[in-house]
Structure 1
Amino acid sequence: MSYLAPQEFVTKMIDAGEAKVFMSTRDTFIRAYMAGAILALAAAFAVTITVQTGQPLVGAILFPVGFCLLYLLGFDLLTGVFTLVPLAVIDKRPGVTVGGMLRNWTIVFFGNFAGALTVAVMMAIIFTFGFTEAPNAVGQRIGSIGEGRTVGYAAHGAAGMLTLFIRGVLCNWMVSTGVVAAMMSTSVSGKVIAMWMPIMVFFYMGFEHSIVNMYLFPSGLMLGGHFSFWDYMLWNEIPTVIGNLVGGITFVGLTLYSTHVRTAPKRKPA
């Protein structure tokens, strides 16, 4: 059968987290770089579809193509390692330490950022004919996204920061569900179908994904968005990363681990 029972795929989650801790720095960075680049291309693709069709749902339906490709190729997103690697620490796998986990997260963060920034520069060149003219319609839309989701949050003060954080939590609840869903099946079609559903939900609902934002906001700055780099970091990237961490480990990693690995004692018959 191509479907794995929860006890089986949760064990695979822990195994995957352990493997990522011991992966070489070179391989960790390359895989993170490619993941950031592919997801950035998918984000550009989805925004282009939305602008050209006027239908955000169509962009959301097609955006998961990038997520599916990068995971089938064995690349890593920060949102995924936020969920998987802590389980290897909690399960007390030999040699897996908090320091090793933080090392993995740091390398993946910078790898994702480098990949997303590379695509941001390339797409900005396309949208402006090498920065020789004003951005086209898609470029203008990306600039407005960056502005609305930085200074737009800042205009609401603490309430805006709370909203941003909760959107980050909900995002990685869905994204990490997609990461785990890929482990439920041993067939390519099964993995793709399982990944597609939660990723479509997060994108259409406008939740905040730290790696997608690594593309949208630097790109928005290049394309004339009225916000600063520090607006982006303070009013988007940093709170989003924290929200993604909380959402992935709390609502996906720990819940699955606690009920399928460290189960409570069964009730005795009356």
Structure 2
Amino acid sequence: MATLKSSGKEMQRLDTEKLPAIEASRLQTALEELKTCATTDCRPPAEMAVKMEAVGVTKGNGNIWTISLLGILAGFFIGLGAMFCTLVTTDIQIGFGLTKLLGGVVFCLGLILVVLAGAELFTGNALMVASRASGKIKLSQLFQNWGIVYFANLIGSLLLVLVVFYSQFWVLDGYKVGVNALSIANAKVSLAFWPAFARGILCNILVCLAVWLCFGARSTVDKIFAILFPITAFVACGFEHSIANMYFIPMGIAMAGQAKILEVAGVTASQVAHLNVAGFIGNLVPVTLGNIVGGTFIGSIYWLIYLRKERAAEAAAARPWFAGMFAGPQLQSQQATYLDTETKALISVLAKARDDNKFLAKLAENPSQALKAYNLAPEAKAALESGDVRWLESRVGTLDEPLRTWLTSRLSQEKW
């Protein structure tokens, strides 16, 4: 840490006036990031809520093909966690509770890959209701994202089932891995509607709490530990995750067609006859509905606690957007007349980013193109591209904390 502080002081002594303006801005941004890396405290819940809202806006305005591909990856990743769980819990003699606990721990692989590697997971995207509640995205954008991601997750899961089946992974331990896959799937399709629905609610409460905790994390290790306990809990308790079931049940259906698996399991084909497409859909419907309810509950409750008053005040305020965005001495609309041209352009960009979600998404994805029409100096463009809050505040005044978090999370395109 002493070395880190020493390096920071040396960097601050650099004569930035000799550097090009854009490089000076980037250097300042790097210094801010260095300070953030040295911070071990997690973000407070109020900042987490703003970040949740901002990420939801990014998702709502995302490119359909990008979302689809990321959705396929998420289905594949969750399936890998399910596959790992199936293997580890096969023929294990450590007691019921510990077996469930161990299965939950290894299943965490799926969400860890989704969060850290980057993917679009239907159950986590239930938190987008916060962005909708704030009016940042349309209801059609919310449902479009959910629909695309859900079916993309299904494709990714089925692709993994296909690969795993032909890999003959299920013949391990004298076909006992396949028998375990059959048993897991059979238990799932045997659930009645309401138990499956209730387990779906409880499952996604825990999944979305894991994602919520990740919004407060500042490092890879933070995120892994944020995921570990909620996900382990839902798996150990036997709750139902629609995307995980897109791997578990099709894999069980494939196993039900293998005579050797039935022989080792000691069951007949008639005893697993309900392991079919109808049984698969019969499980997915209540579980998916339950997942939506559980995830929506978490997103809504944190929106009500941390964002409702602020968003209501914004909606009620009959004044320009920038009159309510700055703390301390605020810019009033009549003062804008006396601002220099560049500052006016900067405020114009921030105003459009605040009010136009499509422009906001474009600014995050391709800032150079988005800013092309604005008369901005290189320093201003660099600050907007990098989310350099400090530089922006030096030009337009002190930003309030929600806007600071919004800029950082939006312009860095953070994902959950």
Return the TM-score normalized by structure 1: 0.88
| Amino acid paired to 2:286 | P
Alignment-derived partner of residue 303 in structure 2: 257
Q: SS where residue 206 of structure 1 aligns?
A: coil
Pick from 47, 55, 58 the counterpart of residue 16 of structure 1.
Answer: 55
**1:50 has 2:89 as partner:** yes
Once residues 46 and 79 of structure 1 are traced to their aligned partners in structure 2, the CA distance between those partners, rounded to angstroms, is 19
Contact 1:63 1:200 in 2 (8 A): yes
**1:90 has 2:133 as partner:** yes
Pick from 151, 162, 166 the counterpart of residue 125 of structure 1.
Answer: 166
Deviation at 1:104, TM superposition (A): 0.5
| Amino acid paired to 1:143 | L
**1:163 has 2:195 as partner:** yes
Map of 1:110-259 to 2, 5 A cutoff? 110-127=151-168, 136-150=175-189, 152-153=190-191, 160-224=192-256, 225-226=272-273, 227-234=275-282, 236-250=283-297, 252-259=298-305
Alignment-derived partner of residue 75 in structure 2: 36
Q: Greater relative contact order (Cα 8 A, min sep 6): structure 1 or 2?
A: 1
Deviation at 1:73, TM superposition (A): 1.5
Deviation at 1:47, TM superposition (A): 1.1
Alignment-derived partner of residue 157 in structure 1: none
Contact 1:124 1:139 in 2 (8 A): no
Once residues 58 and 229 of structure 1 are traced to their aligned partners in structure 2, the CA distance between those partners, rounded to angstroms, is 30
Once residues 27 and 128 of structure 1 are traced to their aligned partners in structure 2, the CA distance between those partners, rounded to angstroms, is 31
* Distance of aligned partners of 1:9 and 1:161 in 2 relative to their CA distance in 1, 3 Å threshold: same
Once residues 45 and 138 of structure 2 are traced to their aligned partners in structure 1, the CA distance between those partners, rounded to angstroms, is 25
Deviation at 1:127, TM superposition (A): 3.2
* Distance of aligned partners of 1:56 and 1:126 in 2 relative to their CA distance in 1, 3 Å threshold: farther
* 5+ long unaligned stretches in structure 2: 1-38, 94-98, 257-271, 311-416
Return the TM-score normalized by structure 2: 0.58
Pick from 58, 67, 71 the counterpart of residue 111 of structure 2.
Answer: 67
| Amino acid paired to 2:296 | I
| Amino acid paired to 2:230 | P
Deviation at 1:126, TM superposition (A): 2.6
Once residues 241 and 13 of structure 1 are traced to their aligned partners in structure 2, the CA distance between those partners, rounded to angstroms, is 22
Per-residue CA deviation, residues 20-73 of structure 1 (Å, 9 max, x unaligned), is: 011101110111111110110111101100104343322212211221122111
Select the structure of larger CA radius of gyration: 2
| Amino acid paired to 2:249 | F
| Amino acid paired to 2:104 | A
Deviation at 1:128, TM superposition (A): 6.7
Contact 1:10 1:261 in 2 (8 A): yes
Once residues 52 and 17 of structure 1 are traced to their aligned partners in structure 2, the CA distance between those partners, rounded to angstroms, is 42
| Amino acid paired to 1:202 | F
Alignment-derived partner of residue 156 in structure 1: none
Per-residue CA deviation, residues 96-145 of structure 1 (Å, 9 max, x unaligned), is: 2111111101110111001110111111223378x9xxx82111211122
Deviation at 1:86, TM superposition (A): 1.6
* 5+ long unaligned stretches in structure 1: 154-159, 265-270
